[in-house]
Structure 1
């Protein structure tokens, strides 16, 4: 993993602990100063009980105990100076501070133990999530690639949106999709589709054949015991993309997913399907998947996204205008585009999204491809591939997880 994982039981840095311990200690100093400045009346000693309680919220058990000892000692010293240490009132006040200190130390220990357990659970969850939704490499063959994921659930880094990429013998193959629903159920369905993609993306099949295989994989899962009742409720909108290394084109299969945007200076064009197919997993007997081919030359940038981006609303209820915002971007690198859109999207939605959102930016840098002698017409061309015979070869084995092939 790119970032270093720190152990769950790591203690606070010394400078952080020092800053936190200063808060209850400052309270003790203030109360002591008041008692010294006004001996006898007013007597602020009973307020010392607040110091160990405050320490329990921010400090560990040892520092909380130390705070309680200081507060109790302060109480007894002033009671002795006033000459009524053995009075019933002073003894009650001292006992209250001691009892509160012991209780605060116990609570602090329980809080620290729960915090360590939560940290370990989060680390395990993060590892599992990274295994499901693997980071995309910044370079895949001649392409520059960047991705960003914004989960609707605060404690989760992934949800129902998914993406993956793999290298083939002639180019790069990508998947982006959105599972119906969100939460753990959506993560499970996303993991199944990603496993099927990684297990077969490198095989030399056409994009139409590969899409049919993924559709069959999702249907296999719905045919499992206990899943048949959800067959009509579970589906995945997806888009499959093939980008050849040595051809200024991109091939796309739309399965009920929003069309990608092709970005050129001052221009954002939606690459809409000639004949969009249904989402994966609906178990529809369709003759084949339509493959659309578009221009994707040097300097072009392709932006893939899920509906969580375009359906994000501002406080007035207006949708996020992705096409307009992307068209005004004047940067160069894919990661800079995604960072710009991420910041702008969160600002539009008030800092939090109601649905998962994912974006992928792919750039074909200038001077890295050999153009075909015959250019594509202005409008895209499409081909409809029938359900292939080679699909039976893929059906011979269930989907399995395989590493993403690098360039």
Structure 2
């Protein structure tokens, strides 16, 4: 498979939620302990039976079947112990034990039904998420014409599979064309805008001979999507007209050059003979959606040498802005130079491992990377004939 989809990092809010969950798990057993202290006091007039009978139901909310059994055993032990110590065996004790048994059985049945229902719902959500991922962010092939490649996506939001970062690669009559972008914001609005830009690229890449015009088509799609009201997916205080996308469109053809149109995106990095060079644009352009700030945009893409053995890394700012516990940025260029020769998927896997070590597994933003290796002319011809016999002409 050419792409690796990962989810990395847990938010601070998620950490607080886990702490509260752990505290909630302790509540039933704290109640049992509290009831025991009351029963063992020299003089008490509080009836603890109803309180103890409720503990299995409370435990079922956070512990499931294990909690129900543990709480019932604990409450039953308290009831039997206090009855023995106070020599008060009678109808009240038997009633309390029967209540414990009935509540425990009912809690177990309800807990099992809820767990089954949640599992079914979770399976459905996962299937929908996987389908959406395949539509919005498809896996890139291992090989396209004159290049080998691999893609990596890391979602900052725990449990997410797609977000505001995007990439795509396709074989066209003009060569292999790729896009990498980053949508401002997160969540459903970012996914919606990413889908609009990717949809425009997938069509324009095959029919527009001018690479800059491909980018313009993506910008037009973004403007149309922003004009459609989506109040249900817009956060409070957010203006849809302020949404923008940084994007990078790249073309690799048979003439051993790479053509780039960069719209406010981090420059791609080229690894040649163990050294990394950033392909910084000579005329910086604004991101998609912010064209009104520049009166006229250049129409010609910039070209750079791209010879056999060279590797080009397209990435989003979630990679280079990833911070360590010491608040230091991830040194992507140094990490690339430190990776010894290997296949593109292995190359990305090692970069991913370095990123995880640097951040401690906690990403503050989505991150995407696309690695492209230039093949020699003979390998390119074999790849075009074998992999894409029905390419658009």
Q: 3-state SS of the aligned residue for 2:259?
A: strand
What residue number does 2:151 align with? Answer: 147
Distance verdict in 2 for CA 1:219–1:90, change over 3 Å: closer
Establish whether residue 241 from structure 1 lines up as the match of residue 244 from structure 2.
no
Establish whether residue 208 from structure 1 lines up as the match of residue 217 from structure 2.
no
Establish whether residue 94 from structure 1 lines up as the match of residue 97 from structure 2.
yes
Structure 1: distance between partners of 2:53 and 2:273: 66
User: 346, 367, 373: which is aligned to 2:356?
Assistant: 346
Q: 3-state SS of the aligned residue for 1:324?
A: helix
Distance verdict in 2 for CA 1:355–1:91, change over 3 Å: same
What is the deviation of 1:49?
11
Distance verdict in 2 for CA 1:48–1:2, change over 3 Å: farther
Q: 3-state SS of the aligned residue for 2:365?
A: coil
User: 152, 156, 163: which is aligned to 1:159?
Assistant: 163
> Does the CA contact (< 8 Å) of 1:140 and 1:406 recur in 2?
no
Distance verdict in 2 for CA 1:86–1:189, change over 3 Å: same
- 1:68-107 to structure 2, matched below 5 A, reads 87-88=90-91, 90-92=93-95, 94-105=97-108, 106-107=110-111
Distance verdict in 2 for CA 1:282–1:327, change over 3 Å: same
Structure 1: distance between partners of 2:256 and 2:351: 26
Of 98-107 and 274-283, more deviation after overlay is shown by 98-107
> Normalized against structure 2, the TM-score is what?
0.71
Task: Tell me the alpha carbon deviations over residues 113-137 of structure 1, each in whole angstroms, 9 at most, x when there is no partner.
Answer: 1232133123212211221111111
What is the deviation of 1:58?
6.5
What is the deviation of 1:55?
8.1
What residue number does 1:388 align with? Answer: none
Distance verdict in 2 for CA 1:230–1:97, change over 3 Å: closer
Structure 1: distance between partners of 2:230 and 2:92: 69
Distance verdict in 2 for CA 1:406–1:162, change over 3 Å: farther
Task: Tell me the alpha carbon deviations over residues 306-357 of structure 1, each in whole angstroms, 9 at most, x when there is no partner.
Answer: 0000001111111111111111111221111111111111221121111110
Using CA pairs below 8 Å that are at least 6 residues apart, which structure has the higher relative contact order?
2
Task: Tell me the alpha carbon deviations over residues 85-140 of structure 1, each in whole angstroms, 9 at most, x when there is no partner.
Answer: 98436514531431342243123322331232133123212211221111111111
What residue number does 2:114 align with? Answer: 110
What residue number does 1:317 align with? Answer: 327
Q: 3-state SS of the aligned residue for 2:242?
A: coil
Of 114-123 and 126-135, more deviation after overlay is shown by 114-123
Establish whether residue 222 from structure 1 lines up as the match of residue 226 from structure 2.
yes
Structure 2: distance between partners of 1:235 and 1:123: 30
Structure 2: distance between partners of 1:207 and 1:270: 20
Establish whether residue 270 from structure 1 lines up as the match of residue 274 from structure 2.
no
Structure 2: distance between partners of 1:336 and 1:248: 24
What residue number does 1:133 align with? Answer: 137
**Aligned pairs, how many?**
319
> Does the CA contact (< 8 Å) of 1:262 and 1:301 recur in 2?
yes
What residue number does 2:267 align with? Answer: 259
Structure 1: stretches of 5+ with no match in the other structure: 4-46, 371-404
Task: Tell me the alpha carbon deviations over residues 279-308 of structure 1, each in whole angstroms, 9 at most, x when there is no partner.
Answer: 111233424334111111111111110000
What residue number does 1:36 align with? Answer: none
Structure 2: distance between partners of 1:195 and 1:187: 12
> Does the CA contact (< 8 Å) of 1:239 and 1:254 recur in 2?
yes
Structure 2: distance between partners of 1:107 and 1:195: 44
User: 357, 364, 368: which is aligned to 1:358?
Assistant: 368
Distance verdict in 2 for CA 1:266–1:283, change over 3 Å: closer
> Normalized against structure 1, the TM-score is what?
0.69
What is the deviation of 1:51?
9.1
What residue number does 2:27 align with? Answer: none
Structure 2: distance between partners of 1:90 and 1:235: 69
Structure 2: distance between partners of 1:358 and 1:364: 20
Structure 2: distance between partners of 1:340 and 1:134: 22
